[in-house]
Amino acid sequence: MSDLETFRSETAAWLEANCPPEMRQPMVDESDACWGGRNATFKPGQKEWLDIMAAKGWTVPDWPKEYGGGGLSRAEAKILGQEMARLKCRSPLSSFGIWMLGPALLHFGTEEQKKHFLPPIARGEIRWCQGYSEPGSGSDLASLQTSAVDQGDHFLVNGQKIWTSYADKADWIFCLTRTDKNEKHKGITFMLFDMASEGVSTKPIVLISGQSAFCETFFDDVKVPKEYGEGVSSVVYEVNKGWDVAKYLLGHERSMISGGGSEGSTSLGAKFADQYGRDEMGRLDDPMLRAQMAEMDIDVLAFRAMAERFGDTFKAGLCHPAQPNMMKYAGTEINKRRHELIMSAGGSEVLEWESEASNGGLTARGWLRTKANSIEGGTSEVMLNVVSKQILHLPGA
């Protein structure tokens, strides 16, 4: 057996032996994800699964071991992902720290920052939120106004963020602040601070799905220390160079959000055929729905191949740096279409919003949630602008 085949069989055996049965059930909704953090609440099996995976470094399989990762190669990480999918093991930890801040720290952070911040992310001990958008600064993010004034040993932060996902549940925030009012992109600083700091307050916003995943976040004379212990700066990279970090992080965020495009099973057609009937050839007997289902299956399978290729080329350094923007655009548009199809296939049944039978309107709420996919992390239109400019080099874009 090759090393990789051995790795595959050992991994499968380990997962079989260690993954709690509850963690091998399909996730029903967002509340089934484990987010960790100081005030984490765990459903049965979650804590056990998180701890045993974290001990192996497999909450972040491809991060270096010294920062709490598994130190796996791309090929090994891919195999771990495939085996987890095959055995239906849930992801042990959902985390903005893993998807967004971690990669930015690995790239821009000092050794001290990496040692200080990364292991608690890997272990699911600290939950992070993202303070980018402001009421006046959405797509034009670099126009942000939240100010951070240098006061010697600390910065004094004042202003307002909006759409801060899970700000009310997060322990820490990675936040973009303005440190130079005379510059646009070159006056932004990327800083890290505790959401429990005095002067930080949050106010949840109710979404069209009825859920309230995000907040308005207010900073009122918040004192952000320049250092958290010896050599651990609160500023990532340098003062006024935060835009570089912000952009790099957005690349990872966009890749992550694009993942929705390759999710979802391609067995919906068979399921609906069983539910609604088949013609004498055994086909789903609504030919238009059948055609749309098949088109969707093709797009999902095609996008899965794209996601694999993107991951492989990204790791190998062969991928265009702006490619995450294309991935986000394509993946989120597919995911939205998929949910439209699920709604139209479900008919009136999936309109139920509160009933127990509908699991509290799970399908309808899920459908509405996907509408945010092409807005959060940069809108589809902005993604297309970036592709036009950075990949196709079109004029004046």
Partner 1 sequence: MPLFLNEDQQMLHDSAAEFMKGEAPVAHLREFRDKQCKDGFSHALWKQFSEMGFTGILIGEEEGGLGLGHVEAGVVLEEVGRNLTPSPFLTTAVAGVEALNAGGKPLRERYFPGILSGDTVLALAVDEGPKHRPDQISMAATREGNGFKLDGKKQFVVQGGSADMLIVAARTSGSVGDDKGLTLFAVDANAQGLSKDSARLVDSAMAAHMQFDGVLVDADAVIGEVDEGDAVLRRLLNAGRSGAAAETLGVGAGAMDITVDYIKGRSQFGTLIGSFQALQHRISHLYSEMEIARATVLKAQQMLDEGSSKAEMMVSVAKAKAGKATALSVKEGVQMHGGVGMTDEYDIGLYMKRDRALQEFMGDVNYHTNLVAEMHGY
Ligand X SMILES: Cc1cc2nc3c(=O)[nH]c(=O)nc-3n(C[C@H](O)[C@H](O)[C@H](O)COP(=O)(O)OP(=O)(O)OC[C@H]3O[C@@H](n4cnc5c(N)ncnc54)[C@H](O)[C@@H]3O)c2cc1C
Give catalytic residue positions. 253
Q: What DSSP string runs through 116-147?
A: HHHHHHHTT-S-EEEE--BTTBSSSGGG---E
- Residue 125: is it exposed, middle or buried by C-beta count within 10 angstroms (0-12/13-18/19+)? middle
Judged by CB, which is closer to partner 1: 3, or 51?
A: 3
Q: Which of these ranges, 88-96, 168-176, 313-321, 338-346, lies near partner 1 under the rule CB under 8 A?
A: 313-321
What residues between 133 and 172 interact with ligand X by CB under 6 A? 133, 138-139, 163-165
Residue whose pair of structure tokens reads 């394509």 in the numeric block: 330
Residues 247-306 that bind partner 1 (CB under 8 A): 266-267, 269-270, 272-273, 278, 283-284, 290-291, 293-295, 297-299, 301-303, 305-306
Q: Which of residues 19-78 bind partner 1 (CB under 8 A)?
A: 74-75
Residue 17 contacts which entry, partner 1, ligand X, none (Cβ below 5-8 A, type-dependent) = none
Q: Which is nearer to partner 1, 16 or 279 (CB)?
A: 279
Q: Does 220 bind ligand X (CB under 6 A)?
A: no
Binding flag, residue 377, ligand X (CB under 6 A): yes
Tokens of 234: 């609160």
Piece in contact with partner 1 (CB under 8 A), picked from 141-149, 160-168, 190-198, 380-388 = 380-388
Contact 45, 21 (CB under 8 A): yes
Which one of 8, 378, 386, 387 is in contact with ligand X (CB under 6 A)? 378
- Closest CB to ligand X among residues 154, 247: 247
3 binds partner 1 (CB under 8 A): no
If you count them, how many residues does the chain have?
397
Q: Does 372 bind ligand X (CB under 6 A)?
A: yes
Cα gap 165→130, rounded to integer Å: 7
Residue 100's CB: how many other CB atoms inside 10 A? 23
Question: What is d(CA 124, CA 33) in angstroms, rounded to the nearest whole number?
Answer: 12
Residues of this chain, 81-140, that bind ligand X according to CB under 6 A = 130-133, 138-139
Cβ distance to partner 1 smaller for residue 95 or 258? 258
The residue among 134, 145, 377 whose CA lies nearest residue 249 is: 377
Contact 89, 15 (CB under 8 A): yes
Please report, for residues 89, 125, 223, 224, the alpha-carbon distance to residue 93 in angstroms, rounded to integers and kept in the order given. 12, 10, 30, 28
63 binds ligand X (CB under 6 A): no
Binding to partner 1 by residue 344, rule CB under 8 A? no
Which residues in 167-201 are b (16+ Cβ under 10 Å) and which e? bbbbbbbbbbbbbeeeeeeebbbbbbbbbeeeebe
Is 192 an interacting residue with respect to ligand X (CB under 6 A)?
A: no
| Residues within the interface to partner 1 (CB under 8 A) | 74-75, 266-267, 269-270, 272-273, 278, 283-284, 290-291, 293-295, 297-299, 301-303, 305-306, 308-310, 312-313, 316, 318, 323, 326, 329-330, 381, 384-385, 387-388, 391-397
